[in-house]
Amino acid sequence: MKTQRSKIGKVIALSGIFTVTAAVPAAVLSSAALNGNFANNQSGDALIPSNPSGHENTKVTPKLKSSIQMMGSEDLFDLGSNKTTNELLAQKIKDNPSLFFENPEVLAGKNFDVVVEDNLSSSAWTGQSYDVSKGNWGNTIEESNKLLYSSSSPNFTISSLDDFKAKLNAGSRLKDSLTAAGLNVDSNTTPSIKNKIGLSDGLFHINVEASVSNKKADYDLQIPTSNINFSFENLNIKVTGNDVVETKQRVAFKYSIGIKSISKYNGSSEIMKMWYASESAVMSGLGFLSSSKNESSELILDNNKVSKALGVFNTTFSNTKLELDNSAVNEGNYLTFKVTITGNANADYCFEDGTTSKEFSFPVKLLQRNAAFYKYSSNITQFQNQTFAWRNSGLPTVSSKEQVEKRIDDFAQGKSDDPSLRALLDEINTTAKNLGILKNASFKFLKFQDSYYTLEHGLRWRVYLSATVDQGFEVASGNPEFTKVQLIQIWIPN
């Protein structure tokens, strides 16, 4: 189990000793420069103080902490570049002097180098490199053969990636890890590690060849980076530079990788169809519901499936919330909803920033199949006898009928957004929905016998309407009214 609440960062180190040099700000000229205390420079290249020793910088002596414990991201490992763990750790020391030195203030503005002299090697990992874009090592890895390391399996405390491989190969640990991840390895066989270790989206990828039912196949054992503790009891660190006294010291260094604080949703992006958008229906459609039951009404989620979709591991998820995302651009017949769930770090874990609880959100596209037009509702007569106010002074009149027809036609064809017509339709639809005539549907202007409306007895205009399904909805089964044009007439005073 972890002794800290965070973990390492991107590592994948090659052997060797590496140096990182801290940048130094340009020195400020002394007052001697103002007094002309410079010797002539015959070459004209630069001016050199005639008494440089009188302005010589005093060297400082940095003192490393004897014991360092850190938590953070996976940035001590980087498989996507040529930087080794030695280099990355040296860079971290340089960038965070307050975490590594007892007297970090003496290094402010100084020119110094950091060298991690121990060999944090990854040379034991041989073979093909992991292709992040393809999710394999140039071989075929079936989706069902991608196995997530079980949260019930023990963590790894390592001193290098070579040590990581050695611990995986020790005894029956590799086989036990596969079994805990759901693979029934043949009892008389021993799985083996192939190819180089991979790293992407908070997971170490281990290519394992194993035999199941007397058939060998390649597997991708995916171990969360938050299952790794980096520990070095006597890490040899050297600090040198023009401005510092060379210091070499062994320190006890422990680094724990935290759970990723930012999710990267890679779940389904397909449009899901359902009767009604609810937390239960959405999580069930995504396959995120657990088969477990509880006495409360709260949904029980399958943590492994949610973890893989979010890229957030060693976390227990709960408290599902669903809300319409009004800011989303919907490019088809669907509505975008936002799912928000709470993630609580498992015991002895924490997120990269040291917290133990976070909310994670991701979008889903939903098509609800419950739109209805109740043409034969008992309220339809009441609705058709309503008189709706025409919200435009002077219109319609008998003399302006052609002008109004064009305005309505432009509006109905989407050529204009007439505020008066929009207000009229909004009032009509609100009334229809309040009377239970429409559900997730709306009335639109209908051109009937070459006209959108007719004058009745010189007193009222008869306006023609047709019901249409709202975006993001389909007609409910057993409600055939939308299969043909329906003529609805309402009245507007002349």
Residue 102 confidence (pLDDT): 96
33, 117 in Cβ contact below 8 A?
Answer: no
Residue 53 confidence (pLDDT): 45
- The lowest-confidence range among 72-81, 127-136, 437-446 is 72-81
Question: Cis before residue 493, ω within 30 degrees of 0?
Answer: no
Q: What is the mean pLDDT of residues 153-178?
A: 96
Answer yes or no: is pLDDT of 1 > 70. no
- Nearest CA-CA partner of 208 in 117, 137, 119, 257: 137
Distance CA 426, CA 449 (A): 24
Tokens of 134: 């393809």
Residue 403 confidence (pLDDT): 82
In the chain, what are the helix, strand and coil shares in percent, each to the nearest 5?
20, 35, 45
Residue 321 confidence (pLDDT): 97
If one compares 292 and 428, the residue with the highest pLDDT of the two is 428
Answer yes or no: is pLDDT of 261 > 50. yes
pLDDT in tens, 168-203: 999 999 999 999 999 999 999 999 999 999 999 899
pLDDT in tens, 14-51: 333 333 444 433 333 333 332 333 333 433 333 334 44
Answer yes or no: is pLDDT of 70 > 80. yes
Residue 476 confidence (pLDDT): 82
Answer yes or no: is pLDDT of 219 > 60. yes
If one compares 456 and 208, the residue with the highest pLDDT of the two is 208
